[in-house]
Structure 1
Amino acid sequence: MSVISMKQLLEAGVHFGHQTRRWNPKMKKYIFVERNGIYIIDLQKTVKKLEEAYDFMRQVGEDGGKVLFVGTKKQAQEAIKEEAERSGNYYINQRWLGGTLTNFGTIQKRVARLKEIERMEEDGTFEVLPKKEVVQLKKQHERLVKFLGGIRDMHALPDVMFVVDPRKERIAVAEARKLNIPLVAMVDTNCDPDEIDYVIPSNDDAIRAVKLITSKMADALIESKQGEEEAVPAEEVAAE
């Protein structure tokens, strides 16, 4: 059965690319037609590429791999957080802090600080500190949660990174490439597909389009885990 239908893609507006003057010629093979100054993405190719990405993500899940979902533009923030959490993975949906991957040790120290402040609040330390200092600590905690909350439990580099709009997330993409972390991405007509291992040609500006594609990546990861759950009763039955 197909992972996604043309109807679903059309209804979510996945086919709407950017204005023709804002295009990357490398995306030509994924463009169906130009209409009213806008490139229309070939959805047959989107279906095919999405299925390839889905199979890859499912395999990653089956192998016990972890995925970092990245999308900091307004249209992506909610979907990135929801789908990463739904599939038990990590996310960055605010600002990408330079060195998140390439300077992982430093980022881990910031996460440790986040958890330290939480412990201070829980163990009563806040009650004995000056009020002014507590206010500062709470502000610091708020900021750390905002930027690092989605990776607070990511104790090692991710096995794969899923990106909405690699053009906007170019620093994140560069870091992943430097570390040979495979990239799956929603790639619009103004992006460079050569930087991405699994290109999903799609509108990366519409909330519904972003939600649809991101949810399919989460579905693949969830599906990979369902296989494990089903395998246990089967073994128990065999044992009987």
Structure 2
Amino acid sequence: MNLHVKELLDAGVHFGHQTNRWNPKMKKFIYGERNGVYIIDLQQTMVRLRNAYNFIRDLVAIRESVLFVGTKRQAVPLIEEEATRCQMFYVNQRWLGGMLTNLKTIRQSIDKMKKMDIAHGDGTYEQLPKKEVLRLEKERGKLSRNLSGVRNMDVLPGCLVVADTRVEQIAIKEANRLEIPLVAILDTNSDPDGVSYPIPGNDDAAKGIRLILSTLADAVIEGQQINATRREDLQTEAAASMPEEIPSSPSPIGLEPGETIIAPPG
């Protein structure tokens, strides 16, 4: 992980909430107070971020997926950008109940969206009344906004990366119920319970959110590279262990393959 405390400082990751808006469970991550605002201990942020980085890297190295989640205004473009960069899934609009706990039903909605996408491009709409086309396009747009980031997520992810635990409580409850590990940014008013890899930091400043998300996306990319190298090594080993083909002896002249010469008696 190529990150320094100064970068966290410059991004404002150390700024917590006002002292009258805090969760006592976050006390261990707080360095102090300044002008009525809690200051987050960036040394702990670095340690926790490194732990999360290593976890995600190793998880992706064994071909597990990561789901990035962030529906608050500051996080919306960053979640899509970083998840897309590392070719992982994301939810940055509305979290649909059952996204994890009822994935089968969600997959049905995704299949419906894909069929509507095909109908939109193959001329099917031209055969329908204008009013019906408008209705279908409205529905397609709604499905696309909510599900485009998970359209290829056929199985449950290996972990969730959450930008704000207070906003994404439904997602966190579903992940906890299914025992899916959580990596999350935790501000001084957040609840760390149920978060496997807490990263104490400002969850409101876009610059700070971007820095943390991009670091975690880098962990995904490194894990993908490790997995690709392992597969190449296995293929090389498999090729090297293949026995050399022994050429078959040619049949004697005048004989068909498989025929043998029988010596005369005596």
TM-score category (smaller protein): over 0.9
- Determine the C-alpha separation between the residues in 1 that align with 2:69 and 2:34: 30
- Once superposed, what is the RMSD of the aligned Cα atoms? 1.7
- Determine the C-alpha separation between the residues in 2 that align with 1:228 and 1:29: 36
For these two proteins, the number of residue pairs brought into alignment is 238
- Determine the C-alpha separation between the residues in 1 that align with 2:235 and 2:111: 40
Partner of 1:71: 70
Which 4+ stretches in 1 moved above 4 angstroms? Answer: 233-239
Could you give the per-residue CA deviations for residues 52-97 of structure 1, whole angstroms, max 9, x where no partner exists? 0000000111010001100000010111101111111100001111
Deviation at 1:227, TM superposition (A): 2.5
Secondary structure of the residue that 1:4 maps to in structure 2? coil
Partner of 1:211: 210
Deviation at 1:101, TM superposition (A): 1.1
User: Residue 68 of structure 2 contacts residue 160 of structure 2 at CA under 8 Å; is this kept in 1?
Assistant: yes
Give the stretch that moved more between structures: 120-129 or 80-89.
120-129
Deviation at 1:228, TM superposition (A): 3.7
Letter in 2 for 1:176: A
1:176-215 paired onto structure 2 within 5 Å: 176-215=175-214
Deviation at 1:124, TM superposition (A): 1.7
Partner of 1:139: 138
Letter in 1 for 2:179: N
Partner of 2:100: 101
User: Residue 84 of structure 1 contacts residue 90 of structure 1 at CA under 8 Å; is this kept in 2?
Assistant: yes
Partner of 1:157: 156
Secondary structure of the residue that 1:162 maps to in structure 2? strand
Deviation at 1:113, TM superposition (A): 1.1
1:114 and 2:126 correspond:
no
Secondary structure of the residue that 1:50 maps to in structure 2? helix
- Determine the C-alpha separation between the residues in 1 that align with 2:180 and 2:223: 20
Letter in 2 for 1:139: K
Could you give the per-residue CA deviations for residues 9-56 of structure 1, whole angstroms, max 9, x where no partner exists? 001100000111110001000000111111000000000000000000
Unpaired segments ≥5 residues, structure 2: 241-266
Deviation at 1:230, TM superposition (A): 4.4
User: Residue 50 of structure 1 contacts residue 200 of structure 1 at CA under 8 Å; is this kept in 2?
Assistant: yes
TM-score normalised by L of structure 1: 0.95
1:50-89 paired onto structure 2 within 5 Å: 50-89=49-88
